Structure 1
Amino acid sequence: MSDAILQTVGLTKEFRGFVAVNDVNLSIRRGTIHGLIGPNGAGKTTCFNLLTKFLQPTRGSIRYDGRDITGMKPAEVARLGLVRSFQISAVFPHLSVLENVRVALQRQRGGSFDFWRSDSLLRQYDARARELLEDVGLTAYAGLTAGELPYGRKRALEIATTLALDPVMMLLDEPTAGMTHDDVGRIVQLIRRVSAGRTVLLVEHNLTVVSGLCDFITVLARGSVLAEGDYATVARNPDVIAAYLGDEASTEAAHG
């Protein structure tokens, strides 16, 4: 696909004879929200780790924005604009919300983590940090320590710190995991807003989130691609229903 920003060919990862990801061919179109779903143990997180270079593949190749990144390190692909947020909220709990975003801005612009630097040097990042907090609805929380935030707001903060790295493509791992219904709705709206002008690859178990957000979906099962298409297509696929969606989704598909 000429408009693909991220592609894998024959991507495979084995752990002592166990094949966690098996000959996966992905093609993520630029400017879309692409969902990666599947049952527990399907290989989704391993696939994410391969794409963001926290793991090296046993076989296969990965191309991002026309460049072979198969042998690169995580920091190298992040500098190219391929940035991942993690399933477990990754914030500095004892720093303020504003300071968390400022740390990410320092990293993106080549600054160090020297928190004892002069206030004047650090304040150069404040205006942009406040813009990012406004983008994710956290302006009122800027002065709180991150550890005081409710869980859903912590995930919004993590997305703000991800945006501080100025990503071209964001990989979001279970962004609504463990959230209340209200928090889920807020994060869905946030993802939709920040995806403008970007590409998003999303691992998510909440099928309502997937159906509402994703332009295209890849279903993994036992490490292999089981099906691909829009939500309506994969939800009606009998192999997908049997492997992952179960009776509840079968009923949804029948009535959807």
Structure 2
Amino acid sequence: MSTDYILQTRDLTKEFKGFVAVDKVNLQVQRGTIHALIGPNGAGKTTVFNLLTKFLTPTRGTIHFNGIDITPERSAQIARRGVVRSFQISAVFPHLSVLENVRIALQRKLGTSFHFWRSAKSLDVLNGRAMELLEAVDLRSFADTVTVELPYGRKRALEIATTLALEPELMLLDEPTQGMGHEDVGRVADLIKRVAANRTVLMVEHNLGVVSHICDTITVLQRGAVLAEGPYEVVSADARVLEAYMGTAHG
């Protein structure tokens, strides 16, 4: 396994009662890049994410992270290694403030989540780091806002802040711009590019504008198998991709 790649899969396969949802997928995610999984609905993108984070067990194949075979490991072990999926830890509590949400995520990293007997003031030590994270996702001015009052795009930014609180080496983002208006899409795309500066991001994304703007490598899935892979310029010019994906995206 190459040290250039933070994540590699070999012949990753998932079958459900004879139906092959993921078919011998060989992924190679280069360290320090933004890598996208795209494809039409039902292509197997979310199933791949569920296999990587062990929400599903592969039928066959292996998953290597930092050169270590993590295929037998459970979700919690994989998260502790630094593979963090946005929804796994985006404990966005609607009736707490934005700052309190990030503080809770930081508390998990410290392992003090269940110290109910401690005074709330004992968490003040986390405020500095929490504010740094809010600054990173352009939410500093929203620190005291009750989360339920945040616009949708800002809530997704808060989820990214809570993800960053666990200091992931590899961030998995599942459709981070889904359901957003144009302005929010641009803001969140820029945010992802910024926070990816010193880590690796693997993302499932439908918005091709986002993919072309921020992703270094794109893997196209169709019917659970890899159809094409490469930079956007190469993938978007592939006739098979145009037929399988671009046509459904624009037609």
Quote the residue 1:253 is aligned against: none
Q: Quote the Cα distance in structure 2 between the aligned partners of 1:223 and 1:101.
A: 36
Greater shift, 114-123 or 58-67, is seen at 114-123
- Specify whether residues 248 and 59 from structure 1 end up closer, same or farther in structure 2 by C-alpha distance, changes over 3 A only: closer
Q: Deviations over 1:221-250 (max 9, x none)?
A: 000000001101111111111111117769
Which residue matches 1:173?
Answer: 174
Q: 2-side partners of 1:184 and 1:115: how far apart?
A: 38
- Alignment partners' CA distance in 1, 2:122 and 2:36: 40
User: How far 1:144 moved relative to its partner?
Assistant: 1.4
Partner of 1:67 in structure 2? 68
Task: Specify every segment of 5 or more residues in structure 1 that has no aligned partner in the other structure, as ranges.
Answer: 251-256
Pair 1:76 & 2:83 matched: no
* Mapping 1:100-249, distance limit 5 Å: 100-114=101-115, 117-246=118-247
Query: C-alpha displacement at 1:69, in angstroms?
Result: 0.7
The CA deviation at 1:114 is 4.6
Residue 119 (structure 1) shift: 2.2
Change (3 A) 1:114 1:143: farther
Note the aligned Cα RMSD (angstroms): 1.7
TM-superposed CA distance for 1:53, in Å, is 1.3
Q: CA deviation at 1:64?
A: 0.3
**Higher mean C-alpha displacement, 117-126 vs 224-233:** 117-126
Q: 1:155 to 1:53 in 2, by over 3 A?
A: same
CA distance in 1, matches of 2:249, 2:52: 31
Alignment length (residue pairs): 249
Give yes or no for contact 1:103–1:113 (8 Å, CA) kept in 2.
no
- Deviation digits for residues 84-143 of structure 1, max 9, x if unmatched? 1139x7511111111110111011121214566302321121111111011101111111
TM-score, with structure 2 as normaliser:
0.95
CA contact (8 A) 2:3 2:67 kept: no
What is the distance in 2 between the residues matched to 1:70 and 1:7?
11
Q: Secondary structure at the match of 2:180?
A: coil
| Alignment-mate amino acid for residue 119 of structure 1 | A
Counterpart Cα distance in 1 of 2:218 and 2:224: 15
What is the rounded CA distance, in whole Å, between the counterparts of 2:206 and 2:242 in structure 1? 14
Residues 235, 249 of structure 1: 8 Å contact kept: no
Maintained 8 Å contact 1:241/1:249: no
Q: What is the CA-CA distance between 1:192 and the residue it aligns to?
A: 0.8
Amino acid at match of 1:56: T
Structure 2 segments unaligned to the other structure (5+ residues): none
Cα separation, partners in 2 of 1:66 and 1:247, compared to 1, 3 Å: closer
Q: 1:239/1:90 Cα in 2 relative to 1: closer, same or farther (>3 Å)?
A: farther
Give, in whole Å, the separation in 1 of the partners of 2:116 and 2:94. 15
Q: Which has the higher mean CA deviation after the structures are superposed, 92-101 or 33-42?
A: 92-101
Seen in structure 2, the aligned counterparts of structure 1 residues 101 and 115 have a Cα distance that, compared at 3 Å, is: farther
Equivalent residue of 1:166, what SS?
coil
TM-score (structure 1 length as normaliser): 0.93
